């Protein structure tokens, strides 16, 4: 990492983007070996919010009979009001461009308030059926609240909750384990199309928000969700038994891979680039396997087996070269 930074600084000097004096100042500064604890402190703040909200849930579960439903809801409501009171009081209001709180703790107070709001609405529906049999409202309302909080307070963590809630509203779980196991793409083909449509809508929203310059730094989050949802839905359906259907999802995966290849370069997002390659590689191998199902390998079986190690080693080498090439391109 140090050699990479030195090489990059040297290139800036060679291109006359910095002066010799600035170059020497940069070297002296790096020689001090100063490092920031900002990321570590924010991680502990995030962890404290998760532990606090989880503790609230455990407390409710273990003492629900002794505390009482009204008392629990009252405590949750008070906590939500306190969190949002301080957040609204210290916020700069809604702005289209990226904004930050003057104190980083308030950012995590927004997250805590949002999670507690979801708990409050969910508990209200579970215990009193406040929305009747319209169970989707118990998901949709926290989702709308999360989107509003994400955009008003410019909070990426809350935005992930909002997108997850939106996916849950259409019956889709967006954790990797749930996408692979619980979402029954095989039994319910419409769920696959719903997942892909959600991914496409997320992409279209990033295009629209970029055009009107609305929180464009949120685009990477939308695109990350879209990439995973579309790719996993397509890959799951590449291995189904519906004749001809897998070709459609092969085209969808190919189109998705091409789009995210381009957008990862535009945004200089290596996370999108890496996952795009992984999904494209998995899909490509599944397609090859389906094509080879109709081929008789009895005569050349040993040759095929001997070629497999070379194929996988070559894939690894190619993957490393692609990552190095991408890093070089974004560095320049």
Instruction: Determine the Cα–Cα distance for residues 40 and 46; give it in Å rounded to an integer.
Output: 10
For the ranges 57-61, 80-84, 87-91, 281-285, the lowest mean pLDDT is seen at 57-61
Task: Give CA–CA dist 91/158, Å, rounded.
Answer: 15
pLDDT at position 169 is 83
Q: 139: closest CA among 170, 116, 160, 108?
A: 170
- The string over 108-117, giving b where at least 16 C-beta atoms fall within 10 Å of a residue's C-beta and e elsewhere, is bbbbbbbbbb
- Judged against a pLDDT cut of 80, whether residue 297 lies above it is answered with no
Q: What pLDDT was estimated at residue 75? A: 84
Note the pLDDT of residue 6: 65
CA 185 to chain centre: 21
CB 273 within 8 A of CB 232: no
Question: Residue 183 gets which letter from DSSP?
Answer: S
User: Tokens 């700069």 belong to which residue?
Assistant: 92
The confidence score (pLDDT) of residue 7 equals 66
Mean pLDDT, the chain, integer: 81
The sign of the torsion formed by the CA atoms of 226, 255, 320, 313 equals positive
What's the angle, vertex CA 303, arms to CA 299 and CA 306, rounded to 5?
150
What's the pLDDT band for 241 if we cut at 50, 70, 90? low
Q: What is the reported pLDDT for 262?
A: 93
Which of 59-73, 157-171, 276-290 has the weakest average pLDDT?
59-73
Instruction: Compute CA distances 9 → 3, 4, 14, 16, 268, whole Å.
Output: 10, 9, 9, 11, 19
Which one of 95-109, 110-124, 264-278, 314-328 scores highest in mean pLDDT?
Answer: 264-278
Report the distance separating Cα 122 and Cα 137, nearest Å. 10
Q: Which two tokens stand for residue 54?
A: 């989880």
Give residue 182's pLDDT: 46
Q: Which pLDDT does position 172 carry in this prediction? A: 66
| Count of residues making up the chain | 332
Q: Is 250 helix (H, G, I), strand (E, B) or coil?
A: helix
Q: Encode pLDDT of 163-214 as tens digits.
A: 998 888 877 654 445 545 544 554 556 778 888 999 999 999 999 999 999 9
282 — pLDDT class (breaks 50, 70, 90): very high
By three-state DSSP, how is residue 60 classified?
Answer: helix
Write 62-69 long-range contacts (CB < 8 A, 24+): 69/127, 69/128
């Amino acid at each position: 990492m140090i050699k990479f930074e030195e090489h990059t600084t040297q290139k800036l000097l060679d291109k006359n983007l910095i002066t010799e004096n600035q170059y020497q100042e940069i070297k002296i500064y790096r020689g001090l070996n100063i490092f920031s604890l900002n990321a570590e402190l924010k991680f502990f703040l995030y962890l404290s919010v998760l532990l606090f909200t989880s503790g609230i849930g455990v407390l409710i579960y273990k003492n629900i009979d002794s505390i009482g439903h009204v008392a629990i809801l009252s405590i949750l409501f008070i906590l939500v009001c306190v969190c949002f009171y301080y957040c609204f009081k210290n916020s700069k209001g809604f702005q289209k461009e990226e904004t930050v709180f003057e104190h980083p703790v308030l950012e995590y107070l927004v997250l805590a308030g949002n999670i507690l709001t979801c708990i409050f609405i969910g508990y209200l529906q579970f215990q009193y059926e406040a929305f009747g049999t319209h169970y989707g409202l118990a998901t949709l309302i926290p989702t709308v609240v999360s989107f509003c909080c994400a955009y008003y307070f410019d909070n990426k963590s809350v935005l992930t909750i909002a997108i997850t809630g939106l996916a849950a509203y259409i019956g889709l779980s967006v954790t990797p384990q749930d996408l692979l196991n619980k979402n029954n793409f095989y039994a319910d083909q419409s769920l696959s199309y719903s997942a892909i449509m959600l991914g496409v809508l997320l992409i279209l929203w990033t295009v629209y928000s970029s055009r009107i310059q609305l929180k464009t730094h949120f685009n990477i989050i939308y695109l990350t969700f879209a990439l995973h949802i579309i790719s996993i839905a397509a890959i799951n359906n590449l291995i189904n038994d519906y004749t001809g259907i897998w070709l459609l999802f092969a085209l969808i995966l190919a189109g998705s891979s091409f789009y995210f290849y381009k957008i990862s370069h535009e945004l200089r997002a290596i996370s999108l680039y890496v996952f795009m390659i992984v999904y494209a590689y998995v899909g490509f191998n599944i397609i090859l396997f389906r094509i080879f199902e109709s081929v008789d390998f009895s005569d050349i079986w040993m040759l095929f087996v001997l070629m497999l190690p070379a194929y996988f080693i070559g894939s690894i080498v190619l993957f490393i070269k692609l990552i190095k090439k991408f890093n070089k391109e974004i560095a320049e």
